[in-house]
Amino acid sequence: MLKNIPKILSPELLKVLCEMGHSDRLVIADGNFPAESMGKNAIVIRADGHGAAEILEAILQVFPLDTYVEKPVNLMQVMPGDTVETPIWDEYEKIVAAADERGAKAIGQIERFAFYEEAKTAYAIIATSESALYANVMLQKGVI
């Protein structure tokens, strides 16, 4: 056991977070995200039974966000004409604000298909059981 490490972070996930270097990207994927097909060149970690917000909150306790980019946190943008509500984004904003002094200014959006292309180059993808739509979030690692 380790002290001050959120219990939701598995040994496998902690190892991956530690291996990541500056500018490497991590996707926290909702339950609908095609994690295995997008992650053919990445490490895919299963976090079944967990939501994206709780994973995000735990990760940001140990994971520095990149200060060399304007938006180190990116959400999958809602498709034009899609009437889906995204209340989980408000949760993400609070979690990011608690971890990074830039708060909501650190959060951007990437068009859905561009997000998929970016996800294909991520270091790792965490596949959660999140049921909220458009709950995918990409983090870019910074330095300590």
Task: Report the catalytic residues.
Answer: 22, 66, 116
Sign, CA dihedral 45-49-52-58, equals negative
14 Cβ contact list (under 8 Å, min separation 6): 5, 62
Distance separating alpha carbons of residues 144 and 133, to the nearest angstrom? 32
C-alpha distances (whole Å) from 114 to each of 60, 102, 119 are 24, 24, 8
